[in-house]
């Protein structure tokens, strides 16, 4: 009966017109990264479909407004996608789709994943580097934003490095207070919008509880949902 129920759930998911695609294949961490990405996607008002190498079909892009890339292992995600799916994601964004990435999802956006030779999507210029001045692992890091100082959950995420020309099409949304490097940003690729952050605004409460850390200004789910809305042009 459980197997039949899973089959029916899978069929019903395919039958629905999903307007958001959330990567759930290799590279999406098993400790809540996928679930939390799905949660904030729904909070933003979208109906997500979990995409894996096994169930992906290019026709899914016909109704999708945004691709959401959870935290985890960016290299593993890129390798699992392979060049064909990576190119299809790029085409989707170039034609007007949105992309949102948290932590590993931010690493994945540049031409190379962090300081490795693994190919990224190449939808954001410049480079990504691991933030190495965190208070702990995980930690709550102080961020400089246009709204003032904020606190974000961090667990191995990147900062972005750009030259002057590359910065012209970048809107900086947050910087690490420690080294003033870029953490969150908005930009465009073709007709599409990209919103990414090296930290985890989608982090659930239990992540903080497990790590025995606290966020002075509370959970950042509305921030994560806002990223999705902006990228999807809602």
Q: For residue 120, give the nearest of 162, 90, 91 by alpha carbon.
A: 90
pLDDT of residue 84: 97
pLDDT of residue 10: 47
pLDDT of residue 5: 46
Q: Is the pLDDT of residue 208 over 80?
A: yes
**Alpha carbons 23 and 53: distance in angstroms, whole number:** 9
DSSP state letters, 19-77 = SEEEE-STTB-TTTHHHHHHHHHHHTT--EEEE-TTT--GGGGGT--EEEE-SB-HHHH
**Alpha carbons 161 and 139: distance in angstroms, whole number:** 22
Tokens of 155: 């667990």
Which of the four pLDDT bands, split at 50, 70 and 90, describes residue 198?
very high
pLDDT of residue 16: 62
pLDDT of residue 17: 72
Q: For residue 160, give the nearest of 182, 189, 187, 188 by alpha carbon.
A: 182
Which of the four pLDDT bands, split at 50, 70 and 90, describes residue 234?
confident
Domains of the chain as residue ranges with CATH? 13-231 (3.40.50.880)
Q: Is the pLDDT of residue 86 over 80?
A: yes
With beta carbons less than 8 A apart as the criterion, state whether 191 and 96 touch. yes
pLDDT of residue 30: 87
CA gyration radius, the chain: 17
pLDDT tens track for 107-158: 999 999 999 999 999 999 999 999 999 999 999 999 999 999 999 999 999 9
> How much of the chain exceeds pLDDT 70, in percent?
93
Q: What are phi and psi of 66, to 5 degrees?
A: -155, 145
DSSP for residue 176: E
**Alpha carbons 164 and 207: distance in angstroms, whole number:** 37
| pTM, two decimal places | 0.92
**What mean pLDDT, rounded, does the chain reach?**
94
With beta carbons less than 8 A apart as the criterion, state whether 22 and 41 touch. yes
pLDDT tens track for 5-42: 444 444 445 446 799 999 999 999 989 999 999 999 99
pLDDT of residue 6: 42
Which of the four pLDDT bands, split at 50, 70 and 90, describes residue 77?
very high
With beta carbons less than 8 A apart as the criterion, state whether 77 and 172 touch. no
Tokens of 20: 């958001």
């Amino acid at each position: 009966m459980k197997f039949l129920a899973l089959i029916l759930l899978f069929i019903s998911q395919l039958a629905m017109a999903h307007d958001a695609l959330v990567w759930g294949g290799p590279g999406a961490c098993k400790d809540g990264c996928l679930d939390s990405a799905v949660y904030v996607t729904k909070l933003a008002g979208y109906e997500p479909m979990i995409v894996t190498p096994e169930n992906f079909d290019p026709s899914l892009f016909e109704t999708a407004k945004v691709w959401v890339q959870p935290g985890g292992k960016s290299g593993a995600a890129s390798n699992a996608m392979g060049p064909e799916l990576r190119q299809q994601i790029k085409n989707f964004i170039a034609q007007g789709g949105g992309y949102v990435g948290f932590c590993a999802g931010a690493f994945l956006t540049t031409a190379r994943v962090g300081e490795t030779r693994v190919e990224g999507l190449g939808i954001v210029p410049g480079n990504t580097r691991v933030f190495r001045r965190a208070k702990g692992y995980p930690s709550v890091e102080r961020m400089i934003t246009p709204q003032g100082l904020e606190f974000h959950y961090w667990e191995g995420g990147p900062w972005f490095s750009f030259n002057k020309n590359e910065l012209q099409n970048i809107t900086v949304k947050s910087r690490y207070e420690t080294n003033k490097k870029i953490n969150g940003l908005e930009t465009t690729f073709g007709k599409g919008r990209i919103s990414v952050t090296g930290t985890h605004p989608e982090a659930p409460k239990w992540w903080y509880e497990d790590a025995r850390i606290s966020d002075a200004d509370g959970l950042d789910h509305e921030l994560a949902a806002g990223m999705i809305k902006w990228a999807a042009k809602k």
